[in-house]
C-alpha cells in the first residue's frame, strides 16, 4: 500500500485506469510477482466511460498463475485501479496487497497447488467492472466450467471497518451465489472462528468484480471491510472503532490515502484470504 501511495503521489494523486498512475501501479505489481517466481501477463481491455463524449480508455488486467489442475481453476482477484479523484489506498490498494501477499506466500511456503490458482488484478473496475467482465466474457464455455471459484477482495483495511464475508448461501440477505458460494462463505467464517475474530455477512449487491463470475454461474465470494455505511453500536462493540461514523469516511475521495487504513484489519483479512486460497488450491473434490 505504501508503494501504491508513492505511485499516486508521483502521478497527480490518482491511479485510475488509463493514467500513468495505473501503468506504474501495474509495473509495481508485475515486479513483485516476477520476484516471487510468477510470469505475469497483461490482458488488454478497452471501454468507454459512462456519459456522452466520454473518451475510450485502453487498459488491462494482470494475470499470474500457479501450476495445478487447470480443470479446477481458482481465480483470486482484486481491482488495481482507483477512482480519478484519489489514490485509492483502501479502495483498493488494500485488496491488491492481500492478493499479492497471498501469491507470494504460496511460493515462499513451497505449496504445490493441486488446482491452478490464477491471481488477477483487474482494471476498469471503478469505471464499470470492465476488467473482470472482459475476463469472464473471454472464457470459453469449457473454461467457465473449469473455473471452480472466484475469491474477491475489495477494500480490506477500512479505517473504521468490520470483518465481513459475502453471503454466499443467501441466508441473511436472500441473494445466494451459484452452488458452492455457501461453502466459500463457510471457509472464510471458519478462519475467523479459529482465530477468535468476530465477523458478519455482507450482501452480493453487484458492486464489485465478483459480479461477472456469479452471472456466469461460477461460485463466488470474498471479503469486504466497508465503505459508506455507518458503524452501528453493536459493530463498535464487536470490532472496536466509532459507532455512528462511516466505515470508510474517505471512500472515493482524495483523502483515501495510507492514513485512511487500518493495518491490523488488513492483516486479519489477508490471513483469511490466504487460508481460503490454500483450502481451494489443495481441495481434491467439491
Distance CA 120, CA 153 (A): 11
Distance CA 261, CA 43 (A): 30
Distance CA 255, CA 47 (A): 27
Name the pairing type of β-strands 220-224 and 147-153. parallel
Distance CA 173, CA 224 (A): 15
Grid cell listed for 239: 470490532
Q: What is the DSSP string of 113-158?
A: -SEEEEEEEESSHHHHSHHHHHHHHTS-HHHHHTEEEEEEES----
Give me the active site residues, please: 125
Amino acid at each position: 500500500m505504501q508503494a501504491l501511495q508513492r505511485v499516486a503521489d508521483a502521478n497527480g494523486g490518482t491511479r485510475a485506469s488509463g493514467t500513468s498512475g495505473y501503468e506504474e501501479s501495474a509495473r509495481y505489481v508485475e515486479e513483485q510477482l516476477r520476484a516471487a517466481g510468477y510470469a505475469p501477463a497483461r490482458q488488454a481491455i478497452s471501454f468507454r466511460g459512462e456519459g456522452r463524449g466520454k473518451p475510450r480508455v485502453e487498459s488491462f488486467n494482470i494475470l499470474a498463475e500457479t501450476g495445478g489442475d487447470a480443470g479446477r481453476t481458482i481465480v483470486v482477484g482484486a481491482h488495481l485501479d482507483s477512482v480519478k479523484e484519489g489514490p485509492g489506498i483502501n479502495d483498493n490498494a488494500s485488496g491488491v496487497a492481500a492478493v499479492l501477499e497471498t501469491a507470494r506466500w504460496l511460493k515462499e511456503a513451497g505449496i504445490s497447488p493441486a488446482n491452478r490458482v490464477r491471481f488477477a488484478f483487474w482494471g476498469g473496475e471503478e469505471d464499470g467492472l470492465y476488467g473482470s467482465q472482459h475476463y469472464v466474457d473471454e472464457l470459453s464455455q469449457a473454461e467457465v466450467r473449469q473455473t471452480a471459484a472466484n475469491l474477491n477482495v475489495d477494500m480490506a483495511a477500512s479505517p473504521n471497518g468490520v470483518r465481513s464475508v459475502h453471503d454466499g448461501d443467501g441466508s441473511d440477505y436472500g441473494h445466494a451465489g451459484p452452488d458452492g458460494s455457501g461453502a466459500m462463505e463457510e471457509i472464510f467464517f471458519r478462519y475467523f472462528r479459529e482465530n477468535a475474530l468476530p465477523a458478519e455477512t455482507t450482501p452480493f449487491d453487484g458492486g464489485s468484480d465478483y459480479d461477472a463470475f456469479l452471472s456466469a454461474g461460477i461460485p463466488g465470494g470474498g471479503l469486504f471491510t466497508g465503505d459508506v455505511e455507518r458503524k452501528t453500536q453493536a459493530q463498535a462493540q464487536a470490532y472496536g472503532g466509532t459507532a455512528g461514523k462511516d466505515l470508510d469516511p474517505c471512500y472515493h475521495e482524495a483523502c483515501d490515502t495510507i492514513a485512511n487504513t487500518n493495518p491490523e484489519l488488513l492483516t486479519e483479512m489477508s490471513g483469511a484470504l490466504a487460508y481460503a486460497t490454500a483450502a481451494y488450491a489443495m481441495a481434491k473434490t467439491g
